[in-house]
Amino acid sequence: MTLEIFNNSDEVAEKAAQYIEEKIRTAILTKGSFTMAISGGKTPWQMLKILAKAKLRWEKVFLFQVDERVAPDGNEERNLTQLFKSIEGSGIMTRINVFPMHVISENLDEETKAYEEAIRKVAEQGELDLIHLGMGADGHTASLIPGDSVCEVTDSDIAMTAFPYQGRMRMTMTYPLINRAKEILWLVTGEEKAEMLQRLLQQDPGIPAGKVNPTHATIFADRAAAKHLSKS
């Protein structure tokens, strides 16, 4: 696991966008396409806004969601709403292949299977080229929530949480899929994440983030999140 520390969250977003742009460029040149997944919350959107300005062959990019809240289409809490807001006006909207998690269906278990299949159709052996992850101040990542049995799922790539978290049920990528990714890019910013960043680096299995495969993982953090690190 590699750690890079930047001055602030704006710098993290800019460097992460540059990093992903380079990965996309190389993948398209070498194998013709790029498959990636993006998390939700608040951290990724600035990065995505910057990335959307890159001159790339966006029709070769397949973008999945790491997780989603069960809420109506267009709801501000939906990660998809924020994703679309981040790329609107950039000109990539009609070119990039976005795969929304369908969370307003009557049968969400069926939708989890359908999403898993959609990933397997475009990503060989269901291995995404890059998964972006964030981390909550409680150590959750994706919607792998502390104490929720969704963290124990090993036979599906996509699953529903057993309980609402912050008021919403969620659909999420599970460990098997996340841990198969060719590369993981963590974005961790803000002082409230400082303790969890230490635990992530120690691969502490007591928090959901600590159980993510560290082998091909890079963490981009800001100084606030990394404030304890020089002391440890």
Distance CA 4, CA 2 (A): 7
Rounded least distance, CB 135 to ligand LXAUTJHC, Å? 6
Rounded least distance, CB 170 to ligand LXAUTJHC, Å? 7
Rounded least distance, CB 30 to ligand LXAUTJHC, Å? 29
Distance CA 124, CA 177 (A): 12
Fill in the per-residue mask, 88 to 117: x = in contact with ligand LXAUTJHC (CB under 6 A), - = not in contact. Answer: ------------------------------
Pick the binder of ligand LXAUTJHC from 20, 34, 40, 47 (CB under 6 A): 40
Distance CA 72, CA 13 (A): 28
- Among 104, 135, 96, 124, smallest CA distance to 182 is for 124
* Ramachandran category for residue 157: left, alpha or beta (phi over 0 → left; psi -120 to 50 → alpha): alpha
Any residues with CB less than 8 A from the CB of 52 and at least 6 apart, and which?
Answer: 86, 87, 90, 92
Residue 126 makes contact with ligand LXAUTJHC by CB under 6 A = no
Could you tell me if 62 and 35 are in contact, meaning their C-beta atoms sit under 8 angstroms apart? yes
Nearer to ligand LXAUTJHC, 136 or 210 (CB): 136
Rounded least distance, CB 110 to ligand LXAUTJHC, Å? 22
- Compute how many residues bind ligand LXAUTJHC; rule: CB under 6 A: 14
Helices (H), the chain: 9-31, 44-51, 79-87, 108-122, 175-180, 194-201
The CB density around residue 72, as the number of other CB atoms within 10 Å, is: 10
Fill in the per-residue mask, 127 to 156: x = in contact with ligand LXAUTJHC (CB under 6 A), - = not in contact. Answer: ------xxxx----xxx-------------
Any residues with CB less than 8 A from the CB of 79 and at least 6 apart, and which?
Answer: 38, 39, 40, 41, 65, 67, 68, 69
61-90 residues in contact with ligand LXAUTJHC (CB under 6 A) are 66-67
Rounded least distance, CB 29 to ligand LXAUTJHC, Å? 30
Rounded least distance, CB 159 to ligand LXAUTJHC, Å? 14
Nearer to ligand LXAUTJHC, 27 or 47 (CB): 47
Distance CA 211, CA 77 (A): 26
Rounded least distance, CB 94 to ligand LXAUTJHC, Å? 25
Nearer to ligand LXAUTJHC, 62 or 186 (CB): 186
Positions touching ligand LXAUTJHC (CB under 6 A) are 39-43, 66-67, 133-136, 141-143
